[in-house]
Structure 1
Amino acid sequence: MTSKTGIILLIWILLTAANLFPVNYYGEIEFIVTIIKVAFMISWIGLSICLVSLQIGLINWQNRELLWGINTIQVVTNPILNKVINILSSSIVSSCFTFQSIESVGICSGEIEDIGRNLPKAIKYIVMRIVLFYLGSLVLLTLMIPSNDSRLIDNNGNGDSGSAMTSPFVIALINCGVGGTSILINIVNFVILTSMISAANSNIYFGSRCLLSMVEEGYFWPQFAKTTRNGGVPVYAILLTSAIGLIISLLSNWKSMDIFLTLLINLSATTGLLMWLFISVSYLRFRATLEYNGLPYNQLSYTSSSSLLFCLPMRQASWFSIVSIVVIILSNGVTNVWQFNWDSFASCYLTSIVVIIGVVCFSYKWNEPVLKPVAEIDIFTDHSPNAFK
């Protein structure tokens, strides 16, 4: 057994065991990890602002050829159109993958105490974290790293994709004069490792609860709905979810599986976009159902009068999201029009094709419409007594 395999097994055992305890233990672990991540991001942003101001400035933004990134593929001769195609076919989907899982707060809502007070607070904190930590750190990274940096393009320049020096946060500090052997670099890598463990911990939780929901809706074997008496933890759902994660993690030990893992990441990114698409559609259907039943939207316990997106009302923002997601998914593999490749086509469109075929087939099998008529949508059964103010 290699050291990498041993570490994977150890972390898997610990995370699986942690999720088998009542959910408050999961929350405590995430609380501690979040404190570490938030403290790191605040410190890193502050340090980066100082380093950019004193050493680098706007030099990486002043190079117009690199301002919008490099072209990974040449498909047309027009430089502007080629740049747009490269951005649509790679950068946007990769960015969406980075932001996925922010919707998971909805999955946690079933186990939140005093949901009317705590859920809106959690949603507001998520928005603050996205604006400050995600977008703020990305802006600083573009200032500190040129888009043609060889360590970003060539896996640290020597094909070593597993090197601890390939993280953009590490590359940014090195570009600003921090030594590669500095303790600061080790701290950054430790926090990155902590974040990865936190993501694995969260994915076990979210995956098991999604599986439990599928069982409750009759879409999966009922055995996986079994829960513990103390805490109501879905044991079998957790074990299945974590087992799948373990198998995928162990596959990363084999170089021959690189293509499969890359394909899996691309499929996951598309799946996340489709999930956002369905959430937007569900929101529009929910609003239509409220109107059909004569229920005032503004009297719900929690409402959002407008989105952060150009201050659009939520309905218009949902339509904007639907159109944007469809454009992103379709443009992801647009380079196949000029240079067709089965691997690229499958990674870009296989998920969407499977979902469309699956929806149509199951709709026919279960004799149910793809979208229920508004009059048949039930929003009253098992509804919360505090749903309205």
Structure 2
Amino acid sequence: MSMMDEYTPLNPCSTKRLLSPNVISLISIGSTIGTGLFFLISSILIKGPLVSILSFTYISFISLIILLITKELSCLKPDNGSLCQFQSYLLSRSIGLANNLIYWLSWCFTLSLELSILYSLLNSYLSVPYYTSIITIWFLLTLINLLPVNYFGLFEVFFSLFKLLFLFSWLFITTLALFGLNPHWEPIGFSNWFANWPTSFLGPLSLSNLLSGLIATSFTFQSIESIALTSGELQNPSPQNFNKIIKLILFRIIVFYLISLFILTLLVPYNDPDLSSLSSPFLIALKNSYYQTSSLLSLFNFIIFTTILSAANSNIYFGSRSLIALVESSNIPHSSHILKTVNGVPYISILLTSFIGLSTILLQSDSLISIFNFLLSTCASAGLLMWCLLLFSYIRFCHKINHSNWLYFASWFSAINIIFILLTNGIDSFSFSSYLTPFLFFTFWGVLHFFLNESSWLIPIDSIHFI
């Protein structure tokens, strides 16, 4: 085996372990419960209640597998952004670099996506200049990320209070509305499902409709794997603490994702004209529940704005930590400057990540809808690609230790399904952006393979070392 095949990371970035398991679970949820859940879910609801529920249940199962294998691999190597290092020492260095470069850029693009939504929310109530509002929000979020990580964690806890307040209040109010405890005292129940049976429940049912809904659904779960980006700053990276984090995230998925989606399908018909706008389906559901007072809607709109701020804040954090892991595993000349820290804060990686996110949205400010759709497609594909390679990394890990459990076979099942989703991403309306991420990955992989002078496309099992 060539010496270039060996995974020899740089000296690790000197971050500090200042985050508790509770804070890390809130940071992960802070990123997960954001634009995907509050806005992108409209592109799932238009598929009809049946497809929406099937898609969410399907991706929830895959997310469970991702969480479990992420926990196992993170316990093995709880380093900075360890999620972005698994592929380098279990698959190959070129695969790790290619995937992690795309993954890091996807966090920058996701930040752009969040900034576009924040501007849209602000602009619906205030006539604010585009550049001024975007740059102001970006500056504040970047400043928060430049604080010591424990203070960043406190901000995320604060943001999460608003998020939990909104979701629990929304669930309570809408549940009452379903039973007739609304301003009109009119039970809604399953009336929208049976309004024009079976079309009102099945929606525009077709195979392409189901498949196109999966890529959108997967974006709402993006960053579920992010606990492995925080492992380098977890106070005590023990299996017990990782188990605690996993349980907290799973509970929130069940409550905030599956239950919320079920209620949304009851209150928002798949052909509701408001779903075609950038308005949140959560607010549309309140309107359809006869809660149309401007003060209530304004309050909930403000809370949604705060939750998107939390998600954008987490995007910078996760992006900077994935960049750290990328650099640590690259050995690219002079790249070690990115690992510099002040009081444990990797300020260069933070500034670089946030700046690219800002420049992406500023350079394409003429068409907010078009940039939203482009970023959505590329970011969702990048997340799925990371999931897929994470699954294959775990499979190789099982081969290395000669151990096959149910999670090993579930990983094969999930990986094959993710590949199928990526291949059928453009089945509904073909566009180059639908396959841009896989195209870039294979291009980067091929170029890096020859540039690094690797003797094989995958590291031989016997040459894998857990370092």
Q: TM-score, normalised by structure 1?
A: 0.80
Partner of 1:6: 132
Q: Deviations over 1:44-70 (max 9, x none)?
A: 112111111222110122232132333
Task: Please point out which of 193, 203, 213 is paired with 1:91.
Answer: 213
Partner of 2:143: 17
Q: Deviations over 1:320-339 (max 9, x none)?
A: 11011011111111246xxx
Q: Deviations over 1:230-251 (max 9, x none)?
A: 2x21111100101112123334
Structure 1: distance between partners of 2:378 and 2:208:
20
Task: Please point out which of 408, 420, 426 is paired with 1:315.
Answer: 408
Aligned-CA RMSD value: 2.0
Partner of 1:74: none
| 2:372 pairs with 1:372 | no
- 1:120: how far off? 1.7
In structure 2, stretches of 5+ residues that fail to align are 1-126, 181-186
Residue 259 of structure 2 aligns to a residue whose secondary structure is helix
Q: Contact (CA 8 Å) 1:97, 1:272: kept in 2 or not?
A: yes
Structure 1: distance between partners of 2:178 and 2:314:
34
Partner AA of 2:280 in structure 1: S
Deviates more, 1:210-219 or 1:22-31: 210-219
Partner AA of 1:13 in structure 2: F
Deviates more, 1:55-64 or 1:142-151: 55-64
Flag the 1:132–1:18 CA change in 2: closer, same or farther, 3 A.
same
Equivalent residues in 2 for 1:1-389 (5 A)?
2-54=128-180, 55-62=187-194, 63-70=197-204, 83-88=206-211, 90-116=212-238, 117-153=240-276, 155=277, 161=278, 166-181=279-294, 183-218=295-330, 221-228=335-342, 230=343, 232-251=344-363, 253-255=365-367, 258-291=369-402, 313-335=406-428, 344-368=430-454, 369-379=456-466, 381=467
Structure 1: distance between partners of 2:311 and 2:249:
15
Structure 1: distance between partners of 2:162 and 2:331:
38
Residue 259 of structure 1 aligns to a residue whose secondary structure is helix
Partner of 1:300: none
Flag the 1:84–1:353 CA change in 2: closer, same or farther, 3 A.
same
Q: TM-score, normalised by structure 2?
A: 0.67
In structure 1, stretches of 5+ residues that fail to align are 71-79, 156-160, 298-304, 306-312, 337-343, 382-389
% identical equivalent positions: 39
Flag the 1:44–1:258 CA change in 2: closer, same or farther, 3 A.
closer
Structure 2: distance between partners of 1:252 and 1:103:
29
Partner AA of 2:411 in structure 1: S
Q: Contact (CA 8 Å) 1:112, 1:119: kept in 2 or not?
A: no
Partner of 1:340: none
Partner AA of 1:30 in structure 2: E
Aligned length: 329
Flag the 1:126–1:64 CA change in 2: closer, same or farther, 3 A.
same
Residue 179 of structure 2 aligns to a residue whose secondary structure is helix
Residue 158 of structure 2 aligns to a residue whose secondary structure is helix
Structure 2: distance between partners of 1:122 and 1:252:
38
